[in-house]
C-alpha cells in the first residue's frame, strides 16, 4: 500500500508538471484515487475485521464517509495546485501585456499580434486610436482587417500575405488603403514577421502598421509641383528662344540690313555715275567691312565660347575686350583663389552666359562707368557677383526683364540661388551661387 501511495504521488506530480488542461489533470487524479480505493479498501477492511462479515458491513458506511472526505481533500489540494499554476500563467500573461503596452506607448506604430492557432489577437492603443475602433471590436482581428481593406487593394494584399505564409517566408510588408471607423481611408505601410514551428508551419504573426497618409499626400503634391515647375521651365526656355530670335532679327534689321541697303544704293549710283564710281565703291567696301564686323560680333555672341580650349577666365577677358570699343566702361575682374579646373564645363558655360547677359543689361540700361566681376569658391559652391555703378532701379517696382529671367532659369537648372541688390542712383549688384 505504501509503495502504491508513493507511485500515486509521483503520478500526481507528473500530471502537475505536464501541459495538460486543468480539468483533465483533476479528472485523472480523482480517477486514479477512486480505482485505488476500490481495489485496496475492501481488502484492508476484511483484514481489519478478521473476515467478520457483520463487522465488515458495519464499516461500509464509515468507509464511504472516509472516501468522500479523502476525495474532498484530494480535490482541494489538487485544485489549489492547479489554481496556483493558473494564477502564475495569468501573472505572466499580464506582465507580457504590460510590456506590450509599454512598447506601444514608446512608439507611434500601430502594433498587432495575431495567434493563428488560437485566433487570439492583441492590438496596442495606437492602433485603436489610429482607426477609431475599440479593443473589443478588434478581438477578431483577421476578419476586422480583411473587411476594412480597400476593395481595390484587397485581392493584391491577401495574395501577397498568403504567398508568404505558403512559401516559408518570415517577413511580409505591403502598402495599402485601410478604412477607419468613420468611413475614411488612410494609406498604411504594414510590416509583419511570421513565426513558424519546427515543422515550418506558421503559428503567429507580429507586426506594426504606420499611417503614411500625410507623407503620400506630400509626395504627390511635390510631384505635381515638380511637374508644373518643369512645364514652367520649358515655357521659359521657349520664351528665351523666341527672345533670342527677336534679338537676332532686330540686329539684322536695324544694323546689317541698313548697312547692306546703303551698299546697294552706292553700287547702283556707281553704275550710272562714272565720275563718282571710285568714291562710291570705296564707301561700299568700307560699309561691307563694317557689315562683316557686325556679323562677326553677332555670331560670337550667339555661338558658345570655346571654354574647353581657352577656359572661363580667358573667354571672359575676350568678352570684355569685344565690349570696350563699343562702350567706354572700366571693367575689373577679381578671381583671386578661384580655380576654374574644379568647376565642370557645363557650369563654366552657365557662369559665362550669366556674365554675358548681365553685362548686356548694364550696357543697355544702367549707364554705368565701371563694372566689377568677382569669382570665388565657398565650399562646394561657386560665388559670382557682378556690380555696376549705374542708375540702378527698385526691384520691388520694376518687373524683371527677359535678361534677368534668362539668368534665373539658367541658375535653377543647377539648384542655384540668385539675389539682386539695387536702388535708384546706387547701381546694381547681382549675386549668384551655384
Please tell me the predicted confidence (pLDDT) of residue 2: 47
Residue 25: pLDDT band (50, 70, 90) is low
Beta bridge partners of 188: 176, 211
Please tell me the predicted confidence (pLDDT) of residue 72: 74
List, in order, residues 6 or more apart from 75 with CB less than 8 Å away: 26, 29, 30
Please tell me the predicted confidence (pLDDT) of residue 184: 92
Helix then strand count (H, E) for the chain reads 13, 10
The beta strands (E) that lie in 180-256 are given as 185-196, 202-211
Q: What is the CATH architecture of 305-434?
A: 2-Layer Sandwich (3.30)
For the chain, give every domain's residue range.
2-100, 108-211, 223-303, 305-434
- The mean predicted confidence, pLDDT, of the chain is 78
Helix (H, G, I), strand (E, B) or coil at 296: helix
List, in order, residues 6 or more apart from 371 with CB less than 8 Å away: 329, 330, 331, 332, 359, 362, 386, 387, 388
Q: Which CATH superfamily hosts domain 108-211?
A: PAS domain (3.30.450.20)
Each residue of 283-316: pLDDT tens digit? 888 878 888 877 777 766 665 555 666 788 888 8
Q: What is the mean pLDDT of residues 253-257?
A: 69
Q: Which of 4-8, 135-139, 183-187 has the lowest mean pLDDT?
A: 4-8
Helix (H, G, I), strand (E, B) or coil at 200: coil
Evaluate whether 329 touches 413 at the Cβ level (below 8 Å): no
Q: What is the mean pLDDT of residues 39-54?
A: 68
State the distance between the two ends of the chain, measured CA to CA, in whole angstroms: 100
List, in order, residues 6 or more apart from 248 with CB less than 8 Å away: 298, 302
Please tell me the predicted confidence (pLDDT) of residue 243: 67
Evaluate whether 322 touches 363 at the Cβ level (below 8 Å): no
Q: What is the mean pLDDT of residues 265-270?
A: 80
d(CA 55, CA 68) in angstroms, rounded, equals: 21
Q: Which of 375, 364, 367, 366 is nearest to 339 (CA)?
A: 375
Each residue of 213-242: pLDDT tens digit? 888 888 888 888 887 777 776 666 666 666
d(CA 1, CA 390) in angstroms, rounded, equals: 123
Instruction: Dihedral sign for Cα 389, 391, 394, 398, please.
Output: negative
Q: What is the mean pLDDT of residues 387-398?
A: 83
Each residue of 155-207: pLDDT tens digit? 999 999 888 888 888 899 999 999 998 999 999 999 989 999 888 899 888 88
Evaluate whether 359 touches 323 at the Cβ level (below 8 Å): yes
Amino acid at each position: 500500500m505504501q509503495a502504491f501511495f508513493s507511485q500515486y504521488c509521483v503520478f500526481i506530480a507528473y500530471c502537475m508538471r505536464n501541459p495538460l488542461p486543468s480539468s483533465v489533470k483533476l479528472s485523472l487524479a480523482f480517477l486514479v484515487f477512486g480505482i485505488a480505493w476500490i481495489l485496496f479498501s475492501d481488502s484492508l477492511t476484511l483484514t481489519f475485521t478478521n473476515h467478520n462479515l457483520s463487522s465488515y458491513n458495519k464499516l461500509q458506511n464509515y468507509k464511504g464517509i472516509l472516501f468522500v472526505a479523502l476525495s474532498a481533500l484530494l480535490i482541494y489540494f489538487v485544485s489549489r495546485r492547479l489554481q496556483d499554476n493558473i494564477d502564475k500563467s495569468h501573472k505572466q500573461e499580464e506582465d507580457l501585456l504590460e510590456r506590450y503596452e509599454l512598447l506601444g506607448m514608446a512608439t507611434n506604430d500601430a502594433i498587432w499580434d495575431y495567434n493563428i492557432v488560437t485566433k487570439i489577437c492583441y492590438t496596442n492603443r495606437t492602433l485603436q486610436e489610429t482607426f477609431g475602433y475599440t479593443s473589443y471590436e478588434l478581438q477578431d482581428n483577421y476578419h476586422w482587417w480583411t473587411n476594412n481593406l480597400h476593395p481595390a487593394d484587397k485581392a493584391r494584399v491577401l495574395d501577397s500575405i498568403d504567398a508568404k505564409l505558403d512559401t516559408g517566408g518570415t517577413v511580409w510588408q505591403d502598402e495599402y488603403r485601410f478604412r477607419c471607423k468613420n468611413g475614411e481611408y488612410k494609406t498604411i505601410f504594414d510590416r509583419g514577421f511570421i513565426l513558424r514551428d519546427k515543422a515550418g508551419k506558421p503559428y503567429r504573426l507580429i507586426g506594426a502598421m504606420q499611417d503614411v497618409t500625410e507623407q503620400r499626400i506630400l509626395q504627390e503634391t511635390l510631384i505635381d509641383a515638380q511637374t508644373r515647375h518643369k512645364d514652367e521651365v520649358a515655357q521659359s526656355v521657349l520664351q528665351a528662344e523666341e527672345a533670342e530670335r527677336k534679338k537676332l532679327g532686330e540686329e539684322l534689321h536695324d544694323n546689317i540690313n541698313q548697312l547692306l541697303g546703303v551698299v546697294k544704293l552706292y553700287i547702283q549710283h556707281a553704275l550710272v555715275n562714272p565720275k563718282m564710281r571710285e568714291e562710291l565703291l570705296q564707301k561700299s567696301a568700307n560699309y561691307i567691312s563694317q557689315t562683316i564686323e557686325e556679323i562677326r560680333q553677332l555670331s560670337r555672341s550667339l555661338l558658345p565660347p570655346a571654354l574647353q580650349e581657352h577656359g572661363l577666365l580667358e573667354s571672359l577677358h575676350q568678352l570684355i575686350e569685344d565690349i570696350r570699343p563699343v562702350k567706354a566702361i572700366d571693367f575689373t575682374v577679381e578671381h583671386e583663389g578661384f580655380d576654374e579646373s574644379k568647376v565642370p564645363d557645363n557650369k563654366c558655360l552657365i557662369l559665362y552666359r550669366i556674365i554675358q547677359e548681365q553685362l548686356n543689361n548694364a550696357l543697355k540700361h544702367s549707364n554705368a562707368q565701371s563694372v566689377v566681376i568677382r569669382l570665388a569658391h565657398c565650399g562646394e559652391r561657386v560665388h559670382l557677383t557682378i556690380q555696376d555703378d549705374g542708375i540702378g532701379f527698385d526691384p520691388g517696382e520694376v518687373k524683371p526683364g527677359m535678361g534677368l529671367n534668362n539668368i534665373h532659369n539658367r541658375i535653377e537648372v543647377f539648384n542655384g540661388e540668385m539675389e539682386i541688390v539695387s536702388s535708384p542712383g546706387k547701381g546694381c549688384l547681382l549675386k549668384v551661387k551655384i
